[in-house]
Every structure is written in C-alpha cells, then in structure tokens.
C-alpha cells in the first residue's frame, strides 16, 4: 500500500466537496437541510463586491453563495470590499443589504461598514441596526485612517455594544509585503484594544484576519479582556488550529474563510489538518457563531 493511501482517499473526498464540481452538485441542496447536519459551517468572514486590485473568480454573489452552500455553509457574515475605499457608506451598506437579500439564498448576513472618521457616522450605525437590521458591523481602521486610540473609535464600540451589534474588526486584508505601492494599509495596532474591551462588558468583538499579526501575549490579553473572538483565515503554521487551541479556548475561535479574496478551501482544510475533538470542531464550525448571533436575534425580537 502506498503511503497515505487511506487518508488520501478520504482527503480527495473532502476536496471534491470543496471543488467547483461539488458546488454544482450541491446546488440543489437546501439551506435548511444543511442546518440539520453536524458538518454545518458558519463563515464569519466573507466579502461581497469587487476587490479593488484584482478580479476574483467568486466576486459575483451568486458564485460565492454557490461555493458556500456547496461546502455546507449555512450562514455567512458578509461585509463588502466597497467598504474599504468608498466614502458613501450609506450607499454601500444599502447595496450590501439588498444584495444579501436578493442573491444570498438565505445564507448571507450583511455586516455594514462604518467609518468613524466620516461626518455623521452615528446615523450610519443607526441605519445598520434599525433599517437594515444587520447583526453587526465591520470596521477597517487601516483603510479609514484612524488608530484604535481615537476617541471616535471608543464611542463607536460603545454605541455598537448598546445596540447589541457584533463588531468585526479587520486587522489587515492582505499580506503587507505585496500590497499595491499606492495602497499600503499597515496592519492595525491592537495595543489600545484590551483596555477598551475591559470597559465594555457587553461588547462582542470579532477580530478578522488577525492571526497573522496578533499572537502570543497580546492575543491572550485581548481574549481575556472580554467577549473577544478570532477566526482562522490567516492562521498559519503546521497544525495551526490545534496550536491555537493550546492557548485560546475553542469557545473563542470561529470559522472564517476570507473568501473570495482567499480560496475558501484554505480554512476548510485547516479544520482537517489538526486533530480536533468533537467539541472543538462543533464550536469552531458553527456553535460559537450561533451563540454570538443569538444576541442579535434577541434584539430583533424586541
């Protein structure tokens, strides 16, 4: 028997579920049926619209949703690439909501972009919560030009927490070594964040694309500071998820793919690379995200 025969066959089975062919095959599978399976995923890090610097194969919502559904994603928290550079964020968030409703097939949940450096950003926050009924918001401080010590950022966190909005904070979008020379957005410095989180016990904060730059003590301090979660799209190293779980409780780790900028399969395969217990797998795949989202559902029922 050749090395790895059994596991290779099993892996190819997994890969087929992640392939384009499998996407077509799974087109007919409905979301509710997915929801009943133990392998259901909640992807907390996808983006709609066009990445400003490259055409992506899954930049159309229909294709992205087909890929997600084909891989058992029952819910995907969707921001928009338009939120990085557009100044009319009211328009951006309205389009995001519309696109999730029109082409999301019950999978996409919109997370609006807020830039606290723009005039009257509080109205944007209100619309995200009250008009678009979003579960949360997504922040890009390095594209919007502010540091986390800015008083407006603290105010934004406070207002979002009061509205029970999940706050997603993206530390980086791509490898800083290969950014466009005219669009270099350095990773967000998280040093002020733990202090802010400690002051806001009701804040629910999800760090996106964080694990490239945020590690060791700064990461642990943040996790210990409050309701802080991380997702795995930029987690690297051999057996990365297993290594992370030696430091961070599995109740704080979420599945995020960073699709369509990253190949979706990257995060999916990370769950296979590390031997994980059933509980760890369940938490990361969907349970943690569902718990987080439950607070939103309570809000919408008020």
HSE of 115, CA atoms in CB hemisphere, 13 A:
20
CB of 203 to another protein, least distance (A): 29
Q: Which residues does residue 166 pair with via DSSP β-bridges, in sequence order?
A: 136, 204
5 versus 301: smaller Cβ distance to another protein:
5
Contact 208, 256 (CB under 8 A): yes
176 versus 221: smaller Cβ distance to another protein:
176
CB of 11 to another protein, least distance (A): 5
Q: What is the CA radius of gyration of the chain?
A: 19
27 versus 162: smaller Cβ distance to another protein:
27
Q: How many residues does the chain have?
A: 302
2 versus 217: smaller Cβ distance to another protein:
2
CB of 37 to another protein, least distance (A): 18
Distances (CA, A) of 31 to 24, 70, 106: 15, 10, 7
Strands of 187-247, DSSP E: 204-208, 227-231
59 versus 152: smaller Cβ distance to another protein:
59
Site for another protein, rule CB under 8 A: 2-5, 7-13, 15-22, 24-25, 54-58, 174-181, 184, 234-240, 259-270, 272-273
Contact 40, 286 (CB under 8 A): yes
CA-closest candidate to residue 92, choices 69, 63, 71, 121: 121
201 versus 239: smaller Cβ distance to another protein:
239
CB of 79 to another protein, least distance (A): 16
> Phi and psi for 235 in degrees, rounded to 5?
-75, 130
Look-up: residue for tokens 């007919």? 28
Burial of 282 (0-12, 13-18, 19+ CB in 10 A): middle
CB of 260 to another protein, least distance (A): 6
124 versus 174: smaller Cβ distance to another protein:
174
Distances (CA, A) of 147 to 22, 150, 188: 43, 6, 7
CB of 52 to another protein, least distance (A): 14
Look-up: residue for tokens 């793919």? 257
61 versus 267: smaller Cβ distance to another protein:
267
CB of 94 to another protein, least distance (A): 27
CB of 29 to another protein, least distance (A): 14
Distances (CA, A) of 117 to 105, 156, 160, 222: 34, 10, 16, 24
């Amino acid at each position: 028997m050749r090395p790895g025969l059994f596991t290779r066959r099993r892996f190819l089975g997994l890969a087929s579920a992640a392939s384009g062919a499998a996407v077509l095959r799974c087109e007919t599978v409905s979301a509710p049926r997915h929801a009943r399976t133990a392998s259901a995923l909640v992807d907390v890090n996808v983006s709609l619209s066009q990445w400003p610097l490259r055409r992506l194969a899954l930049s159309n919502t229909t294709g992205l949703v087909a890929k997600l559904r084909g891989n058992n994603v029952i819910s995907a928290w969707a921001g928009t690439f338009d939120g990085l550079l557009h100044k009319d964020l009211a328009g951006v968030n309205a389009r995001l909501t519309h696109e999730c409703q029109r082409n999301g097939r019950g999978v996409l949940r919109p997370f609006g972009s807020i830039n606290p450096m723009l005039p009257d950003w509080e109205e944007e926050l209100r619309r995200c919560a009250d008009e678009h009924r979003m579960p949360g918001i997504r922040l890009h401080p390095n594209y919007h030009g502010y540091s986390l010590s800015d008083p407006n950022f603290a105010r934004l966190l406070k207002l979002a927490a009061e509205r029970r909005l999940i706050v997603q904070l993206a530390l980086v979008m791509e490898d800083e070594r290969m950014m466009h020379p005219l669009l270099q957005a350095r990773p967000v410095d998280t040093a002020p964040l733990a202090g802010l989180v400690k002051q806001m016990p009701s804040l629910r904060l999800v760090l996106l694309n964080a694990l490239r730059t945020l590690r060791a003590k700064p990461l642990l301090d943040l996790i210990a500071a409050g309701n802080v979660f991380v997702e795995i799209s930029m987690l690297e190293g051999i057996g990365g998820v297993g290594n992370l779980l030696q430091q961070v409780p599995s109740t704080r780790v979420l599945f995020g793919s960073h699709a369509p900028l990253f190949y979706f399969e990257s995060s999916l395969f990370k769950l296979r690379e590390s031997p994980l217990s059933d509980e760890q797998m369940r938490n990361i795949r969907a349970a943690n995200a569902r718990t987080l989202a439950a607070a939103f559902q309570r809000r919408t029922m008020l």
